[in-house]
Amino acid sequence: MGKIYAIKSFKELSNEELYQILKLRSEVFVVEQHCVFQDMDNKDQESLHVMCYIDDKLAAYTRVLPEGLSFEEVSIGRVITSPLYRGLGVGKEIMEQSIAVCEKLFGITPIRIGAQLYLKKFYNEFGFVEIGDLYIEDGIVHIEMVRNSNN
């Protein structure tokens, strides 16, 4: 099983890479989670895209957003693992890679995410703690979480 990580700006993405990203996001966030929402939110162009490929197939993905784009802090969003590769640890690996990207580009600084509530324990493993109240986004319960710079 050949595993490759790639980190690219929007302009560096090939058409094929962009297609695979949008296809995976649609497959999971829209179809699997029965959530009708506008995934393309004009934030991809200013984000870095962290991708994990296994045997040339997109297995996991996140986007890293600079401060001020989604939240006041740097953030990680659209965290996703392909159903074909769940249970192999690539979700944890992509989060580790994404946190490292944040620290490399923006320094040791707080990172904020808007997490689906059922994934709270997953994000706790990386030092994210809940802040604020629960909220509904696109019909799914979410909570904001922050990983402080001392985690």
Rounded to 5 degrees, what angle do the CA atoms 42, 45, 50 make?
115
Distance CA 151, CA 23 (A): 33
Query: What tens-digit pLDDT sequence spans the chain (151 residues)?
Result: 689 999 999 999 999 999 999 999 999 998 888 787 778 899 999 999 999 999 999 999 999 999 999 999 999 999 999 999 999 999 999 999 999 999 999 999 999 999 999 999 999 999 999 998 999 988 899 999 999 976 5
Short-list 134, 113, 108, CA closest to 124: 113
Give the torsion sign (CA, 10, 141, 143, 136).
Answer: positive
2 in the Ramachandran plot: left (φ > 0), alpha (ψ -120 to 50) or beta? beta
Q: What is the pTM of this model?
A: 0.93
